[in-house]
Amino acid sequence: AELFKYLPPKGTRVLIGMSGGIDSSISAWLLKEKGCEVIGVTMSLWDDSLNLPQTSFKACFGPGEKEEIETARNFANKIGIPFYEISLAEEYKKYVLEYFRKEYLSGRTPNPCARCNQKIKFGFLLDQATKIGISFDIFATGHYARVILNPETKRYQLWQGIDKEKDQSYFLVFLNQEQLSKVVFPLGFITKKETRTLAEHLGFSELLTQAESQDFIEGNNYEVLFNQNEVKEGEIVDEDGNILGKHRGIIHYTIGQRRGLGIGGAGEPYYVVRIEPKTNRIVVGRKPELMKRTMTVVDCNWISLSENEVPPILDNVGCKIRIKHEIAKCKIEKLTSDAKQVKVTFDEPQSAITPGQVAGFYDGEKVIGGGIIERVLE
């Protein structure tokens, strides 16, 4: 009952993005239970022309999608809400897959989830739903995060979910004020454990046995997105330029990677410290060479304050550089007047800062904003 006070008032028309998984399903049930008019929607993204074997792993993008849509549809029927399937395969190809390809080919490591949330799930999906005549007041998803209106600044704030282990605010740092004003995350105020207990208690046992969707592409086999001629072998070198081995194409490597380099041997293990697309080289080094303190971040989106309110220096704030990374203390310096580009200096060196990945900026549990890591400085 405590949870219900955070949900939209009775009678609100809520469109909920459903994946067939436990989080979105329980979110839909909670909204319905509160007395909202709930409408389920699932986006279909899979492109049959890609040749990918089906695996038992759940992923956002893969031939297993049809089953997941069926699961979502069945759950919607079970709790008695209308259900729609909206195809966004073209948009997904253009805004997520192309971006993914381009980033990897330029030696960076993309974050497709953050991109998909910004452009597809909280963008085209809602446009398309409106276009086909679904009317709704607010959009809901099963993310573990919170949106709270700040009464003084009238800005919608994004906060971490109260379950720090499961918190997904990091994937939502590109949402703008308009998107945040129309969204509710029913699970932001409970833990994953409570979600599972609720599903069990309600007798939705089918939700408890599912695999969690972790990968972006089924089986993590993203080679199918590249043409043969785009993936060229090249040299693996150390910082002094000594050739240590051959790599299988830069799309297969990411900063901090240790496995699969094929350059074992005596002494300390090697890690990927840099990827150089121009020379098609992978630069490796020892663990200490992965530790860096400074980076530039571009394409910044500001949430807790507007871009023209960003001070020259934000001190004593936190930054998260990947989903499994603890928020680390840092200061943020504005590099451009529109605050789209900043320099981040960590108090302590961080391991494997990776260009292309998302940097999420935090003030305690509140998200200040975020951007894309551009360059690692020192």
Q: Which domains does the chain have, with CATH numbers?
A: 9-142+185-222 (3.40.50.620), 231-285 (2.30.30.280), 290-376 (2.40.30.10)
Instruction: Out of 96-110, 189-203, 223-237, pick the least confident.
Output: 223-237
| pTM over 0.85, yes/no | yes
Name the DSSP class of 155.
P
What is the rounded average pLDDT of the residues 259-272? 83
Per-residue pLDDT band for 65 (boundaries 50, 70, 90) equals confident
Helices (H), ranges, 119-235: 125-131, 177-181, 192-201
Look at residue 227 in the predicted model and tell me its pLDDT.
Answer: 84
Per-residue DSSP letter, 212: P
- Residues of the chain with pLDDT > 70: what percent? 92
Q: Please report which confidence band the pLDDT of residue 48 belongs to, taking 50, 70 and 90 as the band edges.
A: low
Rg over CA atoms, the chain: 22
Q: Look at residue 210 in the predicted model and tell me its pLDDT.
A: 76
- For tokens 């046995």, name the residue: 209
In this predicted structure, the answer to whether residue 214 has a pLDDT above a threshold of 70 is no
Lowest mean pLDDT segment, chosen from 194-198, 262-266, 311-315, 350-354: 262-266
Q: Return the exposure string of 247-262: e unless at least 16 CB atoms fall within 10 Å of the residue's CB, then b.
A: bebbbebbbbbeeebe
The stretch 338-361 carries a mean pLDDT of 98
For 180-334, strand residue ranges (E) read 183-184, 215-217, 234-238, 243-247, 271-276, 281-285, 291-302, 313-320, 328-334
Split at pLDDT 50, 70, 90, the class of 263 is: confident
Q: What is the pLDDT of residue 365?
A: 97
> pLDDT at position 54, please?
57
Percent with pLDDT over 90 in the chain = 76
**Alpha carbons 50 and 97: distance in angstroms, whole number:** 12
Confidence of residue 157 (pLDDT cuts 50, 70, 90): very high
